[in-house]
Amino acid sequence: MLNRRALLTAPGLAFLSGCKRAPRVKVGGKENIEGSLLAEIMSQLLERKLTAQIERRMGIKGANAVYAALQGSDVDVYLEYSRIAFQVLLKSIEPIDLTMRLEKLQKDFRTNAQAEWLGFLGFENIHTAVVRADDPAFEKINTLSQAGADRTGWKLGCTSEFAQSSEGYQVLKTTYQIPERTGTRLEPINQLYFGLGDKRIDMLITGSTDPRIPNQKYKVLVDDRGIFTSNQAGLLLRQEVAATNPQVREVLDSLNGKIDNTTMKNLNREIEINKRGLAEVAIEWLTSAKLI
């Protein structure tokens, strides 16, 4: 007769403890390439270091939507930016000092969203205005103030997230009073570049980690009034996950300080311009960074 205890021999215990050690993590990503790529990097890292069971929830539209998903436990971790965090999500004043900024992010997200801001990844993505370098209309226009002073009017293009964000389009229009000849064109960034090339738009708003800039084909207009300030990238993790599975936080913390502006721009280039797959680029970078 089999002894019931025999079912819990060492192999059985190893199996049960192995199941316990493999956390389930819902990794979220905004609809842009950068958000999706960082989501894949997190997913691959957790899968390989912890044998974690990952649910990839990509393509979420907008900062408010993915933040709501985090608060509703539909997403456990995702990439966010400090400027958006303060001005859109927390509606709070952003400290100038880097250490104070980090401390306030950590404190406010614990209080308001039961979430942990894990630190800074090392890069920032600042809103940037781009025009065609060969456009004669911009030959003597080098700043956003100069563009606003030209009352001829421009055809603008931006992503829907920038248009809907209180720290994006509204601030641009209010500060610089840029006149428009037609309604702002809302499209994904790659489509906006097509629009810039065939002159459907005169100016587009992208981010500073856009792999297409700097480029001789394009000219960046200076934000001379400094409305688009520091926008450092970091990871937001649900507090419950951090408490229940501290190893998840430990693994994700290993990404802090590892991705500088040049690295992020190069990773974006592999996806957006060289048309490589998210998983391939994520694994390649994690390997080169000696994280897996």
Per-residue model confidence as pLDDT tens digits over 143-198: 999 999 998 899 999 998 899 887 899 999 999 999 999 999 999 898 999 999 99
Region at 91 (left for phi over 0; alpha for psi -120 to 50; beta for the rest): left
Task: Check if 23-124+230-288 and 127-221 are the same fold.
Answer: yes
Residue 90 confidence class, pLDDT cut points 50, 70, 90 = very high
Average pLDDT on 75-87 reads 96
| Rounded (10°) angle between helices 261-272 and 278-288 | 150
Average pLDDT on 62-67 reads 92
Residue 240 has pLDDT above 80, yes or no: yes
| Distances 171 to 178, 193, 258 between C-alpha atoms, Å | 11, 22, 31
pLDDT of 11: 40
Residue 23, C-beta contacts closer than 8 angstroms, at least 6 positions apart: 46, 50, 52, 53, 241, 244, 245, 247, 248
Q: Quick one: which H or E segment has residue 186?
A: strand 185-186
Note the CATH architecture for domain 127-221.
3-Layer(aba) Sandwich (3.40)
pLDDT tens digits, one per residue of 3-62: 433 333 334 333 334 445 689 999 999 989 999 999 999 999 999 999 999 999 999 988
- As assigned by CATH, the class of the 23-124+230-288 domain is alpha beta
Provide the residue ranges of all domains of the chain, joining segments of one domain with +.
23-124+230-288, 127-221
pLDDT of 21: 67
Mean pLDDT score across all residues of the chain: 91
pLDDT of 142: 97
